[in-house]
Amino acid sequence: MPEREAVVKIGLNFFPIRIREMSRAAALADRLGYSSLWYGEHVAVPWEFDAARYPGDRVPFRPDSKILDPLSLLAHLSGVTEHIRLGTGISILPLHDPLLTARTLLTIDLFSNGRLDLGVGVGWMVDEYEFVGRDFSRRGEILDEFLDVLDVLWAEDRPEHHGPHFDFRSIGFSPKPLQRPRIPVHVGGRTTPSLRRAARYEGWYGGAETPEDAARIRAEISRHREAAGTAPEGFEMSVLLFWKPTRMQVDAFAEAGVDQLVVTPWEPLTDASAALAGIEAYADELGLERPTAGLA
């Protein structure tokens, strides 16, 4: 029996799209057959970056970059789309409160008819943690406990939690998310702790410049999943690209085990105005399959 041809979904990197065009871009991507759209997060950015903290080209944007709250944005975009999945790419959960965040996430999940994906990570900007009074050195353990709290809130009738970072007695927390057992969690990051964390959840979301790089990440996650006794199926690897891969490159990433490429099919740093045209042209170039009318 011949092996099944490797297929990769095509998602859209939404971060560099101009604010006034975001609604149109989301509706266009939804109509053209993109699988998902993802928007990242930064809560507070220092005006001047300390070169000792961020050597080389570690800072990928300017301090006056226009950055929106991803959850508010995805809530809005859920109302102008029908099919496309909506992802945080990524949300820096250790900067937030789990009860408030859990309530917001389930609200988006319900009103999007179960189209929300929760990309999470610990972030890299020390200043950001200092601005909101959180301990950067403990960000990994905070994220782990935060995700445990989300599971408790979304699964139990009378949730309660007692941990080193979050503590609350039995509470009422309804409704629950539409997606069960939880809103899918996609963990970002390339360090061993991050990949081990990803192996416990539904997916991984992050950058990999080449198919070989992606294959190495996939292999390490698979080893962690095997060690943890996690079922081999049901895991999605999404690779973020700040460029436009050719059909040959898309196929190479698929062969490397990538399930979804989140692409940027225009030049965001030099011509943000080209986003809408780039989204449409790239869908035609790859021959993306348009969703069936009325399918939610």
Q: List, in order of start, the domains of the chain with CATH numbers.
A: 9-286 (3.20.20.30)
Would the pLDDT of 63 be above 90? no
Would the pLDDT of 285 be above 80? yes
Would the pLDDT of 219 be above 70? yes
Residue 208 to residues 2, 120, 155, 174, Cα–Cα distance (Å):
29, 17, 34, 38
pLDDT bracket for residue 272 (50, 70, 90): low
Would the pLDDT of 82 be above 80? yes
Spacing of C-alpha 240 from chain mean position: 9
For the stretch 163-192, pLDDT in tens is 999 999 999 999 999 999 999 999 999 999
The kind and range of the H/E element at 140 are helix 139-155
Q: How far apart are CA 24 and CA 22, in angstroms?
A: 5
* Torsion (CA) 160, 165, 117, 186 in degrees, nearest 10: -120
Residue 67 to residues 120, 202, 246, Cα–Cα distance (Å):
17, 27, 29
Q: Could you tell me the pTM of the whole model?
A: 0.94
Instruction: Please report the pLDDT score of residue 294 as a whole number.
Output: 53
Whether 195 and 217 have beta carbons less than 8 Å apart is answered as: yes
Instruction: Please report the pLDDT score of residue 271 as a whole number.
Output: 66
